[in-house]
Chain A
């Protein structure tokens, strides 16, 4: 794992909102297949860091590369193409489209990439099966439980076989049993497909599924400790 070139390389990233320095000179690498926990108290800048790494928010200064691509110089169109093709996202509240069935939700990222409907739904069904929620395929998200909804959201994040999944407090709205199930499935699937996961969480029991952790405080990284395996 250590021999690989990093997928994402961030150097000295800063981002301010008005007078709030949400990120203040952060450097870090994300490697293929690694599960990296981003910890820290609320308001410390975890989500801002994730949004910068994922090309959602443009940092004010610093360097950011995905493989050999400069994410800061890239146009908005290039950045959103990269997000669709290479990245997957899981948020605290599933953010599934309420009007679509769970199967259609999972197929959606593929449809946006131009995959034909039948093929997209075949692949979506496979991921629903992998996440043990095949039984909600035909239901709307509103008819699924919180834990099921989060597993559907993970299926949607993984269906494009991204190289990095960004997960922001993915268990934040779940009880411990469902949270454990979601973390177990997310990390198992990611490890099998060598997908890197950037896992934002303030909960140690969730961070314990990672290979290593960084701790953000006041927009800076406190330590980069923690060993894999």
Chain B
């Protein structure tokens, strides 16, 4: 899963301090692993360097200064591209896909389109494996079958998630 894209998409909802970004990430995606502050600030520094975010306010309190970050137009384009591009079908994709779907919902994009693009990519690979299977020997067919069954599991997840998008939208926006 791409942390920089995830943080970028969260910033698309409005300027935030690094601290708030971490809280928000943990609330949506940090079930297994909350982020370290170090990861957040390192990622923001890289996004800043690449022109995808900018500092829109600096507060000088008693302690260290607090920067507030805002997404740039280039950053929005980057999120857009990432969300519309299907992932190359691999094992255990669900956490990236789940992240993309939630972020599409949070940023008001078409989450069903994210799932549709992914399903098409998965099916394309399944087609290739099916063709290979009908031409190869038994050992090759068994290897293809293993990959096909895993893709099938992903596709079932995609289908079920499509059917539950409305409920998921309510939950992540609440």
Interface residues of A (CB under 8 A from B): 41, 184, 204-205, 207-210, 213, 215, 217, 222-223, 225-227
Do the beta carbons of B152 and A204 come within 8 Å of each other? Answer: yes
Do the beta carbons of B155 and A227 come within 8 Å of each other? Answer: no
Q: From DSSP, what is the main secondary structure of chain A's interface residues?
A: mixed
Do the beta carbons of A41 and B159 come within 8 Å of each other? Answer: yes
Identify A215's interface contact among B116, B134, B152, CB under 8 A.
B116
Identify A205's interface contact among B112, B120, B148, CB under 8 A.
B148
Known: A41-B163, A204-B126, A205-B126. A226 touches B120 (CB 8 A): yes
Residues of B within 8 A of A208 (CB): 123, 126-127, 129-130, 148
Q: Which 10 pairs show the lowest CB-CB distances between chains A and B?
A: A225-B120, A208-B126, A208-B130, A204-B155, A223-B116, A208-B127, A204-B152, A226-B120, A184-B134, A222-B116
Interface size class of B (residues with CB under 8 A): 20 to 34
Interface residues of B (CB under 8 A from A): 112, 116-117, 119-120, 122-124, 126-127, 129-130, 134, 148, 151-152, 155, 159, 162-163
Alpha-carbon distance between A209 and B116 when the two chains are bound, in angstroms: 19
Known: A204-B151, A204-B155, A205-B152. A225 touches B116 (CB 8 A): yes
Q: Can you offer 15 A-B residue contacts whose CB atoms are under 8 A?
A: A184-B134, A204-B126, A205-B148, A207-B123, A208-B127, A208-B129, A208-B130, A209-B127, A213-B123, A215-B119, A217-B162, A222-B116, A223-B120, A226-B123, A226-B127
Q: From DSSP, what is the main secondary structure of chain B's interface residues?
A: helix
Task: From A205, A215, A217, name the one whose CB has the most chain B CB atoms within 10 angstroms.
Answer: A205
* A-B pair number, CB within 8 angstroms: 44
Known contacts A204-B151, A208-B126, A227-B124; 13 further A-B pairs (Cβ under 8 A): A41-B159, A41-B163, A204-B126, A205-B148, A205-B152, A207-B123, A208-B129, A208-B130, A217-B162, A222-B112, A223-B116, A225-B123, A226-B123
How distant is B21 from chain A, measured CB to nearest CB, in Å? 33
Residues of A within 8 A of B129 (CB): 208
Known: A204-B151, A225-B116. A209 touches B124 (CB 8 A): no
How distant is A24 from chain B, measured CB to nearest CB, in Å? 16
Alpha-carbon distance between A212 and B112 when the two chains are bound, in angstroms: 19
Known: A208-B130, A215-B119. A226 touches B124 (CB 8 A): yes
Task: From B112, B120, B151, B152, name the one whose CB has the most chain A CB atoms within 10 angstroms.
Answer: B120
How distant is A197 from chain B, measured CB to nearest CB, in Å? 14
Residues of B within 8 A of A209 (CB): 127, 130
Residues of A within 8 A of B124 (CB): 226-227
Residues of A within 8 A of B119 (CB): 215, 223
Identify B127's interface contact among A210, A217, A222, CB under 8 A.
A210
Residues of B within 8 A of A184 (CB): 134
Residues of B within 8 A of A222 (CB): 112, 116
Residues of A within 8 A of B148 (CB): 205, 208
